[in-house]
Structure 1
Amino acid sequence: MLLRKIAAAVFAVLALGGVQVVTATPATAAPRVLYYDASQAQEFKAVVDQGAQIWNNSVTNVRLLPVTAGRTPNIRIYADNGWPRTYSSSLGNGYWYMGRQAVNQGYHPPRISAHEFGHILGLPDRRTGLCADLMSGSSAPVSCTNANPNATEARTVNSNFASAVAVPPQVFAWR
């Protein structure tokens, strides 16, 4: 008890003298939260949620959450019979389609979902043909079930949301 009082007195004297004794660790910015609306994703709602969770487990500077009542979503997801495709209006904003054509051809639905979210998060198609590259899209074999971004893709998304990077509106098609 006496030591605490002495330490407090020493710190008070030093502080009055303008000496900084303890420095706080720098505050880290909270991740940017993007809200998505999967109400029109029909039978793919659970897959959309899975794609969002994959990104939430892979990056720290952005979070994808289902839209709550009274909020306007940043991202809307629809289902249709075409190919999956994304229309981004700016970084973190836009809409995408979970196209049944790719699912019917055997492409892994969680991979499609994570891939399309990747576009909203600022990643382009890479068409490397590698299953390890989430953004290789349909250039990877139909048998590819990897739905996780690789380290470079995750690092790029973290970088995109670490600052105010401007990403112009774009259209991405799954083919």
Structure 2
Amino acid sequence: MLVRRWAAALVALFALAGVQVVGAAPASAAARILYYDASQAQEFKSVVDQGAQIWNSSVANVKLQPVTSGHTANIRVYADNGWPRTYSTSLGNGRWYMGREAVVDGYYPPRIAAHEFGHILGLPDNRTGLCSDLMSGSSAPVACTNANPSAAEKAKVESLFRSSVAVAPQMYVWAGN
């Protein structure tokens, strides 16, 4: 009790002298690492890696890394002949498909990969039709090559992974035009 009184007196004395007493700044939390397995992505493995890198360079609270020995994949990526689609099981977990149908129709593969990772990171489709919105998906023109999330999309992912809010399981499917 006496130590607390002395500490309070010292703080008051410093305040009178115009000196600020502050505690150490809280350390920033380390990014949450999500491991992905692209071994079943076939010819799209490098595109999947590119989509992960787009998010890694866009946000700080979460990082997408290829699964390594000793870790379990949070995300599994497959290739098939359908439309791209994502099945999330919880925030940061699930599986997605790099559907060849969208690629054959002319959609930009890195945009598809970044978009599908966006679903795993908690973002829904928004169907604005704007190329500047990554999560507008197939509502944007086929010629759209923007694979980067918008400022609002980045902010939402940062917010979700700062607070680790639970996101209900979802299924997202690109709709052909």
Offset of residue 25 of structure 1: 1.8
- Distance in 2 separating the partners of 1:22 and 1:145: 48
Return the TM-score normalized by structure 1.
0.88
- Distance in 1 separating the partners of 2:95 and 2:169: 11
Structure 1, unpaired ranges of 5+: 1-16
Offset of residue 164 of structure 1: 2.2
- Distance in 1 separating the partners of 2:41 and 2:162: 29
- Distance in 2 separating the partners of 1:22 and 1:119: 41
- Distance in 2 separating the partners of 1:24 and 1:70: 35
Partner of 1:12: none
Offset of residue 102 of structure 1: 0.2
Q: Tell me, what secondary structure is at the counterpart of 2:88?
A: strand
Aligned-pair Cα RMSD in Å: 1.5
17-26 or 133-142, larger mean C-alpha shift: 17-26
- Distance in 2 separating the partners of 1:22 and 1:150: 37
Partner of 2:36: 36
Identity fraction in percent: 74
Q: Tell whether 2:62 aligns with 1:62.
A: yes
Return the TM-score normalized by structure 2.
0.87
- Structure 1 residues 13-58: Cα deviation after superposition (integer angstroms, max 9, x where no partner): xxxx535755322110001100000000000000000000000011
- Structure 1 residues 123-144: Cα deviation after superposition (integer angstroms, max 9, x where no partner): 0000110000000000000000
- Distance in 2 separating the partners of 1:164 and 1:60: 14
Residue 159 of structure 1 aligns to which amino acid in structure 2?
Answer: S
Partner of 2:97: 97
Partner of 2:144: 144
The alignment covers a number of residue pairs equal to 161
Q: Tell me, what secondary structure is at the counterpart of 1:58?
A: coil
Q: Tell me, what secondary structure is at the counterpart of 1:110?
A: helix
Q: Tell me, what secondary structure is at the counterpart of 1:153?
A: helix
Residue 106 of structure 2 aligns to which amino acid in structure 1?
Answer: G
Structure 2, unpaired ranges of 5+: 1-5, 12-20
Partner of 1:159: 159
- Distance in 1 separating the partners of 2:174 and 2:35: 23
Q: Tell me, what secondary structure is at the counterpart of 2:163?
A: coil
Partner of 2:71: 71
